[in-house]
Amino acid sequence: MAGKKKKRSVTGQLNLAARSLRSVLSQELSQIQLYPGQDAVLVAIGEEDGLSLRDLADRLAVRPPTVTKTVARLIGQGLVEKRSSPSDARQSHAFLTPDGHAIVDAVKAAQKGAERAALKGFSAKERKALRKLLFRVTANLDARSGKSEIAEPD
C-alpha cells in the first residue's frame, strides 16, 4: 500500500479550503493594513452606518465581545467611531469615519480577489451549486447546535 494516498474527509477538506481562503484574504487585507475579521465589520458598517454593536455581532454571526474588540481596533486605526445610542445609553453604534468610507471599496476588492482565486475555473453553475451545498452544511450544523436558520441564498 506504499504510495497510496488516503482520501481526506469532506469536513477535513472543507477546513483546509477555509484555511486557504483565510490565508489568501489575509494577504490581500495586509496590503491595506487590515487584519482578517476587520473586513467583514467594515463592509457591514458600510452597508448600514450606525449599526448597534449587538446588531453587528448578529449580522456577522459572532459573539458581541469579538465585535467590541474588532471595533476598538478599527477605532484605533481611525476607520470607525463609536457613539452611544440616543435612546439607550447601554448601547453603542458604529459609524465609519471618512477614512473608513474611503477604504470600504478596497476591502470589497480584497474579498472579491480572494473569492476569485478560490473559484478560479468554476462555471457559474458550479458556483451556484457550491453555494447551495455550503448553505446546507451550515443549516445542518446550525440545527444541530440550536442556532436559528438563515435564509437560503438564491
pLDDT in tens, the chain (154 residues): 556 677 889 999 999 999 999 999 999 999 999 999 999 999 999 999 999 999 999 999 899 999 999 999 999 999 999 998 888 878 899 999 999 999 999 999 999 999 999 999 999 999 999 999 999 998 998 888 877 655 555 5
Q: Where are the alpha helices (DSSP H) in the chain?
A: 10-30, 38-47, 53-60, 64-76, 98-118, 124-145
Pairing of strands 51-52, 92-96: antiparallel
- Is this structure's pTM higher than 0.75? yes
Q: What is the 8-class DSSP label of residue 146? A: T
Which residues are CB-neighbours of 40 under 8 A, at least 6 positions away? 60
Decide if 95 contacts 49 (C-beta within 8 A). yes
| Residue whose entry in the numeric block shows the C-alpha cell 482520501 | 7
